[in-house]
Amino acid sequence: IEQSAYQNDKLAMLGKIAAAIAHEIRNPLTSIRGFIQLLRPHLAQLGKDEYARIVIDEIDRANDIIYEFLNSSKPSTPNKKKIVVGDLLKEVTLLFESEAILKGCDIELDPVDPAMTICVDVKQMKQALLNIVKNSLDAVGGSDRTERGMIRISAHQQGAKAMISVQDNGTGMDFHTQSKLFDPFFTTKMEGTGLGLAVCYRIIKNHGGNIQVDSEVGDGTRFKITMPLC
Ligand code: ADP
């Protein structure tokens, strides 16, 4: 399944909108933050310093969200570093451990050859993998699933490439969903954005890699990512 230029245009457009909104919202946030700082001593005299602290913390949080959103939608040149594939996958697996326990599913990382390295922007690559594993967690988590949820992550060398696989025994996807899943804004979830896999696709392509999906309704899904070795 190839992503068309049209889909890339949509992501580029989203990046521009996000940048414009971020710019317009950051300015008022900065002045609100400044004025609260000025008011702080007065609020402290009234015994209300706690309120000022909350306002400042919340402004900082809003700024962080804008920054994160901007980062995820704006294409950026990868800042490549050599990383051991197993280490990257271990970190991603660890990040989902608590969520997996809460959902009553297993997330397993097969042993990976420690000599296998790829040259990638670690932050971007981590984000791409997080988006994929997050979807697997959503797919195995439904209350209608009788089988215990299982997500298996593995990596093997394939010629001059590293092949990373994320496999789940979740809901699976019909053909229509499979043909649309990398489209920006395509989602089948009540609260989905449809951005996860579009961003993932762009990151992987930017690194000279590839992403493929095998899926069967009721059986599960497997994403295969190939990345050039270092
Ligand atoms: P979102 O998660 O916000 O819906 P994504 O771009 O990450 O956006 O995913 C798009 C759609 O692809 C999802 O709504 C879902 O229908 C489908 N999908 C992705 N991964 C899986 C998976 N592992 N199992 C089943 N469906 C999936």
Q: What is the ipTM of this complex?
A: 0.98
Nearest protein Cα to ligand 1, atom 20? 135
- Residue 118 has a pLDDT of 97
Q: Which of 7, 10, 72, 135 to mutate to test the pocket of ligand 1 (most atoms within 8 A of CB)?
A: 135
Rounded to the nearest angstrom, the distance between the alpha carbon of 131 and the centre of ligand 1 is: 9
Q: In angstroms, rounded to a whole number, what is the distance separating the alpha carbons of residues 222 and 153?
A: 10
- Residue 125 has a pLDDT of 93
Residue 198 near ligand 1, beta carbon < 6 Å: yes
Q: How many helices (H) and strands (E) does the chain have?
A: 6, 7
Residue 166 near ligand 1, beta carbon < 6 Å: no
- Residue 83 has a pLDDT of 97
- Residue 2 has a pLDDT of 54
CA angle 224, 228, 230 (to 5 degrees): 135
Residues of the chain with pLDDT under 70: 1-6, 68-69, 71-76, 143-144
- Residue 20 has a pLDDT of 83
Q: In angstroms, rounded to a whole number, what is the distance separating the alpha carbons of residues 171 and 68?
A: 29
Helix, strand, coil % over all residues of the chain, rounded to 5: 55, 20, 25
- Residue 40 has a pLDDT of 94
Residue 167 near ligand 1, beta carbon < 6 Å: no
- Record the pTM: 0.81
- Residue 157 has a pLDDT of 96
Answer whether 84's CB lies under 8 Å from 116's CB.
yes
